[in-house]
């Protein structure tokens, strides 16, 4: 029974079936200057969408990973976000409605995380959109090095960076092909790894998704509450950070002395005091590896409900990507220069 679940779980909830809808309405109420919630189509739209002459950016994905994606709708980032239920892909109708709502004639870029259901849904909708005469391009993000086979790698932290940087490219007037090419470049130059220190409990499920015995942690965790690639023993922050960095850098292989952007994102239940401690470890490790941490982002940017833990994303910058990163942005979760 819904009420019993709510009470047992001690979350801020009414009927768990209403969680996503009510939270989206709250997001729109809090940030009405930035976005609006189209409840009928279950999508979030930039308040001034469609923006004349600008490529439209659309992302989609299960809820429970906030602020992704709704928190990144606004000036200089996404034009629309299509949220599914908790850890569940949205349906194609939502994506098509978003595509139609943001297209201003310059075409639409889909920012897609490499999950089979999400990729398939976007593919289906892209065909419909093209039938309607809307030009569509896609960037498929697969930065999660927890998975060895790059074709099967999930899109996780790099999604935030692709959304920011393609958003800036679209804002400055790049055409659809150019914006897509920049998005693919960001994906190619970024890698991520996540570490979970606890499970999380989807409200409709009523209990934690997996059991994590005392003294163990999940290395290589995704963003849908699933366990990691392997279970490891709890260690010091310094040791965990070193393993995360080694895992990311051995795959990314950045140039000696490269400028990088480092993001340490909490998974939802880890407080800032720990995230900044981890960032300190990561920054030292980057410098020891001969890299220059030129841009930094620490906080809850891509999460798994109240899971404790953190994910590291490293992006090898170049001059253009740095400039696009620094360009003004005004969304619920990321804001500067505006």
Q: Is 133 in the site for a copy of itself (CB under 8 A)?
A: no
Q: Which stretch binds a copy of itself (CB under 8 A): 51-59, 93-101, 167-175, 279-287?
A: 279-287
Give the Cα separation of 80 and 277 in Å (integer): 34
φ, ψ of residue 133 to 5 degrees: the values are 85, 15
- Euclidean distance between CA atoms 278 and 293, whole angstroms: 14
- 65: its two tokens: 């990973």
Give the integer Cα–Cα distance in Å for 286 and 292: 7
How many other CB atoms sit within 10 Å of the CB of residue 119?
A: 17
Q: Which residue, 126 or 308, is less far from a copy of itself as judged by CB?
A: 308
For 120-145, give one letter per residue: b (16+ CB within 10 A) or e.
ebbeebbebbeeeebbbbbbbbbbbb
- If binding means CB under 8 A, how many residues of this protein chain bind a copy of itself? 67
Minimum Å distance from CB 24 to a copy of itself? 8
CB of 94 to a copy of itself, least distance (A): 18
Q: Which stretch binds a copy of itself (CB under 8 A): 115-123, 127-135, 246-254, 280-288?
A: 280-288
Give the whole-angstrom CA distance, residue 303 versus residue 56: 25
Residue 62 binds to a copy of itself (criterion: CB under 8 A): no
Scan residues 288-307 and list those touching a copy of itself (CB under 8 A).
293, 296-298, 300, 303, 305-306
Q: Does 272 bind a copy of itself (CB under 8 A)?
A: yes
Q: DSSP secondary-structure letter at 103?
A: -
CB of residue 16 to a copy of itself, shortest distance in Å: 11
Region for residue 83 given its phi and psi (left: phi exceeds 0; alpha: psi -120 to 50; beta: otherwise): beta
Q: Which is nearer to a copy of itself, 105 or 337 (CB)?
A: 337
CA nearest to 69, candidates 79, 128, 114:
79
**Does 12 interact with a copy of itself (rule: CB under 8 A)?**
yes
Burial string for 253-288 (b: 16+ CB within 10 Å, else e) reads ebeeebbbbbbbbbbbbbeeebbeebbebbbebbee
CB 190 within 8 A of CB 313: yes
d(CA 297, CA 334): 10
Kindly state the smallest distance separating residue 59's Cβ from a copy of itself, in Å: 16
Q: Does 7 bind a copy of itself (CB under 8 A)?
A: yes
Q: Indicate the residue among 239 and 318 with the shorter CB distance to a copy of itself.
A: 239
Nearer to a copy of itself, 129 or 240 (CB): 240
Q: Judged by CB under 8 A, does residue 279 bind a copy of itself?
A: yes
Q: Establish if 164 lies at the interface with a copy of itself (CB under 8 A).
A: no
Identity of the residue, 166 or 198, whose beta carbon is nearer to a copy of itself in the bound complex: 198
* Pairing, β 216-219 against β 329-330: unpaired
Q: Any idea which residue has 């639409």 for tokens? A: 108
The token pair that represents 59 in the structure block: 């992302």
Instruction: Provide the minimum distance between the beta carbon of 121 and a copy of itself in the complex, in angstroms, as a whole number.
Output: 21
CB of 241 vs a copy of itself, minimal distance in Å? 8
Q: Contact between 240 and a copy of itself (CB under 8 A)?
A: yes
Which residue's CB is nearer to a copy of itself, number 56 or number 64? 64
The tokens for 82 are: 């299509």
Nearer to a copy of itself (CB atom), residue 184 or residue 231:
231
> Shortest Cβ distance from residue 279 to a copy of itself (Å)?
4
What is the binding site for a copy of itself (CB under 8 A)? 3, 6-8, 10-14, 19-20, 22-27, 29-31, 63-64, 66-67, 71, 197-198, 214-215, 217, 233-238, 240, 268-281, 283, 293, 296-298, 300, 303, 305-306, 308, 310, 330, 335-338
């Amino acid at each position: 029974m819904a009420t019993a679940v709510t009470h047992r779980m001690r979350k801020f909830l009414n009927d768990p079936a209403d969680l996503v809808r009510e939270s989206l309405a709250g997001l729109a109420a809090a940030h009405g200057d930035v976005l609006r919630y189209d409840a009928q189509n279950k999508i979030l739209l930039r308040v001034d969408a469609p923006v004349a002459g600008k490529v439209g950016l659309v992302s989609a994905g299960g809820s429970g990973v906030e602020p992704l994606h709704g928190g990144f709708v606004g000036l200089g980032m996404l034009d629309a976000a299509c949220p599914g239920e908790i850890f569940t892909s949205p349906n194609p109708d939502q994506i098509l409605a978003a595509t139609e709502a943001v297209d201003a004639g310059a075409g639409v870029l889909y920012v897609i995380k490499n999950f089979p259901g999400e990729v398939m849904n976007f593919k289906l909708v892209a065909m419909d959109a093209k039938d309607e005469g809307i030009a569509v391009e896609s960037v498929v993000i697969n930065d999660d090095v927890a998975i060895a086979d790059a074709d099967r790698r999930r899109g996780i932290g790099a999604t935030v960076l692709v959304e920011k940087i393609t958003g800036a490219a679209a804002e400055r007037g790049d055409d659809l092909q150019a914006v897509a090419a920049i998005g693919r470049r960001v994906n190619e130059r970024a890698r991520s790894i996540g570490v979970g220190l606890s499970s999380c409990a989807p409200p409709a499920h009523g209990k934690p998704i997996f059991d994590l015995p005392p003294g163990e942690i999940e290395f290589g965790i995704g963003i849908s509450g699933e366990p990691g690639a392997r279970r490891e023993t709890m260690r010091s922050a310094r040791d965990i950070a070193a393993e995360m960095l080694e895992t990311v850098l051995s795959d990314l292989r950045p140039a000696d002395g490269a400028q990088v952007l480092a993001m340490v994102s909490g998974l939802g239940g880890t407080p800032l005091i720990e995230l900044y401690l981890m960032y300190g470890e990561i920054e030292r490790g980057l410098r020891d590896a001969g890299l220059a941490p030129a841009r930094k982002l620490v906080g809850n940017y891509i999460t798994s409900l109240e899971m404790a833990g953190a994910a590291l994303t490293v992006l090898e910058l170049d001059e253009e990507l740095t400039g696009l990163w620094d360009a003004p942005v005004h969304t619920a979760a990321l804001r500067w220069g505006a």
